[in-house]
Amino acid sequence: MTDFNTKNPFKIPENYFKNLEDSLLKNAKSISYSHGFTIPKDYFNTLEEDILHKAVKSNSFSRRKIAFGIATIAATLAVLLNLSSIENSETIIEDQAFNDYIESYYLDNSDGYEILSMLEEIDMGQDFEDYNKKPK
Amino acid sequence: METQQSLFISSLQEPETKEKAFKRLVQEYKERLYWHIRKLVLDHDDANDVVQNTFIKIHLNIDKFKGDSSLYTWMYRIATNESINFINSKSSKMGLQNQEWIEAKANGLKADSYFDGDEAALILQKIIAKLPEKQRIVFNMKYFDGQTYESMAKILDTSIGALKASYHHAVKKIKSQLND
């Protein structure tokens, strides 16, 4: 039985594939240049070097930009934290001063009965309980 | 099973292999991208600037490439956008519309040392320069680069129907101008 898989029945002209390659390359070239544009000699050789050089340079520049950005953010946060802690301590001092003022106002301007009436009942109840628990 | 392209993309995105893979990318695609850009901006020095900017952009953004299109489509799209941005920038600086700037460049081709075309090629370039931007890009990609509508649709993010219409109008205008 004839082995159809190993015997190719089709023939081609001599040097067909070599000629095909040349023809394809020639056509490709003619397509590229039919628009009339030309380039300097060895342009594509130097282009590669230029691109690689610039790409590495732009990459290291962008890394430095990122590092600078992080440093700036860290410094800004540090300044803001310091400012807020100063503000907080000032707020505490201000609140305390305000409380002292209120206290002294009432003490100076109210008699005993008025002060007593300001206390809530539950507080008074607790006060008396505590008083009763104290050893006599 | 990973394709050859996905392996190549991985090597472009890995820090250890990025530079070597990028070098290979430049070797592989520099001519194709250059010629695409050159036909849009016309001048060799301008095309040189744009192709370098294109590859730098590719280098900086390759980590963001998600693989939802082929690598070549993605790069081609960057090259097209960089060319358009370049034209916008140059024409704006000179106080011209994009088309005015391109037409001026086309009119200067005869004196351009890097233009070797005959009278017919020169006339064709001047007529192409008069086309609206989209038609000019589509015509160059279809006629000179032999791109299919399918690949152009991915590169330009435009429907095949719209591309066919653009190309049809471009060819009609060119034929009409050539007959005049």
For A115-128, how does the pLDDT look when each residue is reduced to its tens digit (9 = 90+)? 555 554 444 444 44
Q: Which two tokens stand for residue B145?
A: 């680069």
Confidence (pLDDT) at A1: 47
In terms of pLDDT, which residue wins out, A48 or A100?
A: A48
Distance between CA atoms of B60 and B101, rounded to whole angstroms? Answer: 30
Distance between CA atoms of B122 and B108, rounded to whole angstroms? Answer: 10
The alpha-carbon gap from B113 to the nearest alpha carbon of chain A, in Å, equals: 8
Q: What is the mean pLDDT of residues B72-100?
A: 94
Summarize pLDDT for B103-140 with one digit per residue, the tens: 999 999 989 888 888 888 888 999 999 999 999 999 99
Which is nearest to A46 in space by CA: B58, B51, B46?
A: B51
B81: Cβ contacts below 8 Å, ≥ 6 apart: none
Instruction: Give, for B26, the enclosing helix (H) or strand (E).
Output: helix B15-41
Asked if residue B21 has pLDDT above 60, the reply is: yes
Least confident of A60-64, A96-100, B57-61: A96-100
- Whether residue B158 contacts residue B152, with contact meaning beta carbons closer than 8 Å, is answered with yes
Label residue A63 by pLDDT band (50, 70, 90). Answer: confident
Residue contact A56–B19, C-beta within 8 A: yes
**Domains in chain B with CATH codes:** 2-179 (1.10.1740.10)
Of residues B23, B51, B115, nearest to A36 (C-beta): B115
A73: amino acid identity, one letter: I
User: Which of A31, A32, A37, A52 to substitute to test the interface with B, most B CBs within 10 Å?
Assistant: A37
Label residue A131 by pLDDT band (50, 70, 90). Answer: very low
pLDDT, mean over chain B: 91
Residue reference for tokens 């036909």 = B39
Q: What residues of A are in contact with residue B174 (Cβ under 8 Å)?
A: none
User: In whole angstroms, how far apart are CA B89 and each of A22, A97, B95?
Assistant: 42, 64, 10
Summarize pLDDT for B29-40 with one digit per residue, the tens: 988 899 999 999
Confidence (pLDDT) at A75: 86
Residue contact A37–B26, C-beta within 8 A: no
Checking ipTM against 0.85, whether it exceeds it is no
Residue contact B59–A59, C-beta within 8 A: yes
Which is nearest to B26 in space by CA: B68, B48, B56?
A: B56
- Whether residue B127 contacts residue B177, with contact meaning beta carbons closer than 8 Å, is answered with yes
Judged on CB neighbours under 10 Å (0-12, 13-18, 19+), A100 is: exposed
B115 DSSP β-pair partners = A37
Which is nearest to A52 in space by CA: B4, B79, B58, B41?
A: B58
Least confident of A31-35, A45-49, B77-81: A31-35
